[in-house]
């Protein structure tokens, strides 16, 4: 970020630019600096060198190599002014990282025939004036930028324009009237904006050459104009994702060249059969899903011999599928879910003759009918079927045998029915099946071993073979968790086995550990018994494991903490016992994951594991007691028992005496935290220390009794957080003020003298952006840390838990939180002595006070653990999604590692997404990888939280995005210091305030 004086001559500058553009064309992998803009002179210089910025590079995804940022320092302005003008016809700036308002092209614009500046970060008003300067312009692509507000007048001057693309911006207001003056246009694309108002039925008829019209995912309202039928060249009409209402105009049938019609997700209504579709003989795809159409499926649809995909799902249709549908021999995709259909037997009897069908989605129809068992279908029909969705129909009978011959089946959903009998053994013979949902039925028997050899889930290189094309699969799928969220429209199905909510019994087969590609395993709400197989730790891709509400016993295998992608784990309501595993993802699972297992123990349950067996002796103790008895018997038999016993007592007395002497000499007490009740500890054993610079007199006079009362004797109702170090409780002091009490985990063994020294050192770390320590308490075998209570919880809570509540953090507040967090980290990294590596910077460790000022929490706690405790070197080096890549090799926490974690927090602030999102495809599940991929594709505009877009802060957010990406650089040495980050964020904030 340092600056330097321009020193190059004009010729040197030109040569330098040549090298820069050559690097851009050939390598194209480096990101631009966050303050990069594109001056008009850059184009002039490039052309003066005889370079064409666009020749045949259309479609290449590349990033310019900080060209402009360096030019502004290296090239004298006079050198740029002396560049010779040339006749520029084609200008391609696509797939770079240019920002700022679109540049004025000046004299270069006069002969332009093509402009492509898509996939950049240009913002401000849309440059409609280009049309007045470039009368020869034929193609213009400014999509995937940040242009906002209403489209200014001027587009009507592009009389020769044939292709106009400006989708994926923040454009708002009505469709400008002069856009309809572009009568030569055959492609008009403005999707994913915020355009509003009606589609003018009179003006649109002027576009007689239009073949492709995409206005999808805007806010258009009103009725679909019947005059669209007067556009004789129209082949693709995409108006999905708007607020259109009224009936489907019958005149639409006159668009005889129409190939794709997508009106999904609108408010269209009326009798669908009123439209005669038979004139649309070239139609390939028809999507009218998620509207309010009524009546029968139009018979005229069955005459569309070219139709490949038909979706009428989620309307108010009724009746049956007519036999005439077999005329649609090109049909590959059919979705009629939630349409009130009846007679499943007849429906499948008819559809079996549609030989090219690969996906049949009929979920939430055929209420309580019997599922057909026609075994004669097995050999000849549905041979190309890949996806079958019959969930939520309440069908009766057994899982039909004819499904066993669907050799190409990938996904089978029979959930939420009333099917009985066993889970079929033949499921294991389906070579490509990777998604199975039989949940919510009445299935009985044991889990068949055959299901553990599903080839698609055991093979080395799993890839989904589903060809989704334009349409997503609306498979009805059970909620993934207790939040009620569902996968109703999936872009990709996760490899999964759902068998929950049945009456299955027997053991969980250890062979399930062979299904290494499995992402979801849900066996909850059955009658399964036995142990949890330790082999489940081999399911390294597992993201959800739910075994709750069964009759499982034994311990939870500790090796499950090696499942690094596990985001949901539930074993509640079983008969499990012993310690809950610690480390890995197990430090994040809530208390509800374990409730209903009275013999479990561990820090999260506030139950010490040495007593987990109740009044019974542990098995090891029983075994040892037997050995003792046998030994005594032998001793008595040989007459030496008395001598042996007396010798043992003598040795024991000597050892105890030496221990007492050592304790008096060293005056050090070895303390192991316990979860036994505080009320059992004498008050004389308490040490309560309040930090002098914190606390009024009332808090200085706190007693251990006050803390017990304030937390309800550490009642579970007062838990406000948990983590690798222990539980955090809300406490209300006698004066009415609130405190946060952290009770250290029972796994930590600490020396009292060292503990007090470290805590008192931490208490000296005082900064407005830290949750500073107010005091500490050692009460018997339990140790407490006392902090200020933060009224507004954590950043994680506001970004993720409150996302759908209507309350949100606006961008100025998010930027303030980013600045405050960076300042707190800067203090512990560079100011306080000794410097502190946080180790676990994440949004849940950034607390917010009553003014939404950021306070960094949990800093320095790793110093309280003994050096040889493995909990320090591995489990507490970070949280999944925030862990720097280098930690996977060394597990040594560093300052640069903290920078990476803070970069992830910045990305959370910008996107509103979690660092790792459950069940998303691999390429988008991890936030850092997803952001880098989106930037590489030039799709920065799609990175930001939708709640922040169009609010006038796009320039700031782009700059913060650049900072975040520098922080998450895979090379630790290329990450900035926290002092640099603080300075950059301060500059961004200051620049905005001066505008």
Active centre residues (catalytic): 840
Contact between residue 366 and residue 336 where contact means Cβ atoms under 8 Å apart: no
CB 395 within 8 A of CB 417: yes
Closest CA to 945 of 798, 816, 846: 798
Place of tokens 């803009």: 37
CB 435 within 8 A of CB 493: yes
Q: In Å, how far from its chain's centre is CA 921?
A: 9
Q: Measure the CA–CA gap between 709 and 212, rounded to whole angstroms.
A: 71
**How far is residue 460 CA from its own chain's centroid?**
25
Find the angle CA(182)-CA(187)-CA(191) to the nearest 5 degrees.
105
Q: Would you state the structure tokens that stand for residue 337, as one six-digit string?
A: 């879910």
HEC string of 408-432 equals CCCEEECCCCEEECECCHHHHHCCC
Residue 341 β-bridge partners = 319
Look-up: residue for tokens 């820069």? 20
In DSSP notation, 152-173 reads: PS-GGG-TT--EEE--SSEEEE
User: What are the residues facing 731 on neighbouring strands?
Assistant: 739
Q: Does residue 124 sit in helix, strand or coil?
A: strand
Contacts of 969 (CB under 8 A, 6+ apart): 900, 975
Is residue 951 marked as binding?
no
The token duo for 332 is 């590959």
Residue whose tokens read 């954590």: 794
Alpha carbon 377 to chain centroid, angstroms:
42
d(CA 422, CA 913): 41
Q: CA–CA distance from 363 to each of 412, 416, 708 (Å)?
A: 11, 10, 55
Question: Residue 418's closest CA among 447, 389, 390, 440?
Answer: 440
Residue 345, φ and ψ in degrees, nearest 5: -60, -50
Going by their DSSP bridges, the two strands 846-848 and 854-856 should be labelled as antiparallel
SS3 at position 940: helix
State how far the Cα of 784 lies from the Cα of 126, in Å rounded to an integer.
59
Give percent helix, percent strand, percent coil of the chain, each to the nearest 5: 35, 20, 50
Report the Cα 753 to chain-centroid distance in Å: 44
Helices (H) and strands (E) in the chain, counts: 21, 46
Residue that the structure tokens 């594709």 belong to: 937
In degrees, to the nearest 5, what angle opens at C-alpha 951 toward C-alphas 947 and 955?
105
Q: How far is CA 311 from CA 338, 686, 759, in A?
A: 11, 70, 64
CA-CA distance, 315 to 248, in Å (whole number)?
Answer: 14
- 594 closest CA partner among 611, 576, 606, 613: 576
Residue 889, preceding bond cis, omega within 30 degrees? no
Going from the C-alpha of 17 to that of each of 10, 90, 673, 676, the distances in angstroms are 11, 19, 66, 72
Report the alpha-carbon distance of residue 282 to residue 306 in Å, rounded. 6
Spatial separation of the C-alpha atoms in residues 533 and 995, rounded to whole Å: 62
Q: Which position has the token pair 């994926």?
A: 168
Residues in the chain: 995
- CB neighbours (10 Å) of residue 562? 15
126 and 142 in contact (C-beta within 8 Å)?
A: yes
Binding residues for ATP: 742
């Amino acid at each position: 970020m340092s600056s330097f004086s321009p020193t190059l001559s004009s010729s040197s500058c030109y040569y330098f630019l040549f090298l820069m553009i050559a690097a851009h064309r050939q390598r194209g992998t480096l990101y631009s600096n966050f303050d990069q803009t594109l001056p008009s002179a850059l184009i002039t210089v490039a052309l003066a060198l005889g370079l064409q910025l666009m020749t045949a590079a259309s479609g290449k995804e590349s990033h310019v190599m900080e060209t402009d940022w360096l030019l502004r320092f290296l090239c004298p302005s006079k050198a740029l002014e002396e560049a010779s003008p040339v006749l520029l016809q084609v200008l391609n700036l696509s797939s770079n990282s240019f920002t700022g308002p679109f540049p004025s092209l000046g004299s270069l614009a006069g002969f332009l025939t093509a402009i492509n500046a898509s996939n950049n970060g240009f913002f401000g008003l849309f440059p409609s004036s280009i049309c007045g300067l470039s009368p020869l312009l034929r193609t213009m692509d400014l999509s995937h930028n940040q242009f906002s507000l209403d489209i200014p007048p001027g587009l009507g001057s592009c009389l020769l324009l044939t292709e106009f693309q400006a989708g994926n911006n923040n454009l708002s207001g009505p469709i400008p009237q002069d856009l309809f003056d572009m009568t030569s246009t055959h492609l008009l694309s403005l999707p994913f904006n915020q355009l509003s108002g009606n589609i003018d039925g009179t003006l649109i008829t002027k576009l007689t050459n239009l073949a492709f019209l995409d206005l999808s995912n805007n806010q258009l309202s009103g009725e679909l104009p019947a005059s669209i039928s007067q556009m004789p060249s129209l082949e693709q009409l995409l108006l999905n994702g708007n607020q259109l209402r009224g009936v489907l105009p019958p005149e639409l049938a006159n668009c005889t060249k129409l190939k794709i019609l997508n009106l999904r997700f609108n408010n269209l209504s009326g009798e669908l059969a009123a439209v005669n579709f038979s004139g649309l003989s070239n139609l390939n795809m028809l999507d009218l899903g998620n509207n309010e159409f009524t009546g029968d499926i139009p018979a005229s649809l069955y005459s569309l011999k070219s139709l490949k995909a038909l979706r009428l799902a989620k309307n108010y249709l009724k009746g049956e599928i007519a036999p005439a549908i077999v005329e649609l021999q090109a049909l590959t995709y059919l979705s009629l879910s939630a349409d009130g259909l009846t007679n499943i037997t007849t429906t499948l009897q008819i559809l079996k003759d549609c030989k090219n069908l690969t996906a049949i989605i009929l979920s939430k129809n055929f209420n309580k009918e019997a599922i057909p068992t026609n075994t004669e279908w097995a050999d000849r029909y549905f041979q190309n079927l890949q996806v079958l969705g019959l969930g939520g129909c309440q069908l009766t009978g057994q899982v039909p045998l004819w499904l066993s011959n669907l050799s190409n089946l990938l996904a089978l959903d029979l959930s939420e029915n009333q099917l009985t009998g066993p889970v079929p053994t033949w499921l294991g013979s389906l070579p490509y099946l990777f998604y199975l949902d039989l949940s919510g039925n009445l299935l009985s028997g044991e889990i068949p071993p055959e299901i553990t050899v599903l080839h698609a889930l055991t093979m080395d290189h799993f890839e989904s073979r589903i060809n989704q094309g334009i349409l997503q699969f609306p498979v009805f799928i059970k909620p993934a968790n207790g939040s009620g969220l569902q996968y109703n429209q999936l872009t990709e199905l996760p490899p999964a086995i759902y068998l929950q909510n049945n009456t299955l019994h027997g053991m969980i087969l250890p062979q399930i550990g062979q299904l290494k590609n499995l992402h979801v395993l849900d066996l909850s709400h059955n009658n399964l018994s036995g142990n949890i197989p330790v082999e489940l730790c081999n399911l390294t891709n597992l993201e959800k494991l739910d075994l709750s509400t069964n009759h499982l016993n034994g311990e939870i295998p500790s090796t499950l903490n090696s499942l690094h992608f596990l985001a949901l784990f539930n074993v509640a309501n079983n008969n499990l016992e012993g310690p809950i595993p610690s480390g890995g993802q197990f430090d994040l699972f809530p208390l509800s994951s374990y409730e209903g297992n009275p013999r479990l123990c561990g820090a999260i349950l506030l139950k010490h594991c040495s007593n987990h067996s109740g009044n019974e002796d542990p098995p090891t103790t029983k075994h040892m007691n037997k050995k003792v008895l046998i030994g005594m018997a032998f001793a008595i038999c040989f007459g030496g028992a008395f001598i042996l016993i007396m010798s043992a007592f003598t040795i024991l007395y000597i050892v105890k005496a030496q221990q007492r002497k050592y304790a008096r000499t060293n005056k050090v007490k070895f303390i192991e935290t316990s979860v036994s009740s505080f009320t059992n500890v004498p008050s004389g054993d308490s040490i309560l220390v309040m930090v002098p610079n914190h606390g009024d007199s009332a808090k200085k006079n706190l007693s251990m009794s006050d803390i017990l009362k304030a937390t309800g004797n550490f009642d579970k109702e007062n838990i406000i957080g948990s983590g690798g170090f222990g539980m955090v409780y809300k406490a209300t002091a006698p004066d009415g003020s609130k405190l946060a009490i952290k009770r250290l985990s029972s796994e930590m063994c600490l020396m009292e003298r060292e503990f007090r020294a470290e805590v008192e050192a931490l208490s000296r770390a005082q900064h407005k952006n830290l949750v500073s320590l107010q005091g500490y308490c050692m009460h018997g075998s339990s140790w407490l840390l006392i902090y200020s209570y933060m009224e507004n919880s954590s950043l994680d809570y506001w970004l993720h838990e409150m996302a759908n509540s209507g309350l949100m953090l606006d961008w100025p507040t998010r930027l303030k939180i980013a600045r405050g967090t960076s300042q707190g980290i800067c203090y512990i990294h560079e100011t306080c002595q000794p410097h502190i590596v946080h180790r676990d910077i994440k949004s849940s460790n950034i607390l917010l006070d009553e003014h939404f000022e950021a306070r960094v929490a949990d800093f320095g706690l790793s110093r309280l653990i003994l050096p040889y405790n493995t909990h320090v070197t591995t489990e507490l080096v970070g949280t999944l999604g925030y862990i720097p890549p280098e930690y996977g090799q060394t597990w040594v926490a560093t300052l640069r590692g903290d920078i990476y974690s803070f970069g992830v927090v910045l990305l959370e602030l910008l996107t509103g997404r979690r660092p790792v999102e459950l069940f998303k495809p691999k390429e988008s599940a991890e936030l850092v990888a997803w952001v880098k991929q989106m930037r590489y594709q030039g799709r920065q505009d799609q990175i930001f939280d939708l709640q922040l877009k169009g609010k006038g802060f796009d320039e700031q957010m782009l700059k913060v995005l650049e900072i975040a990406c520098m922080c998450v650089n895979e090379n630790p040495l290329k990450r900035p210091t926290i002092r640099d980050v603080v300075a950059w964020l301060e500059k961004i904030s200051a620049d905005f305030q001066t505008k």
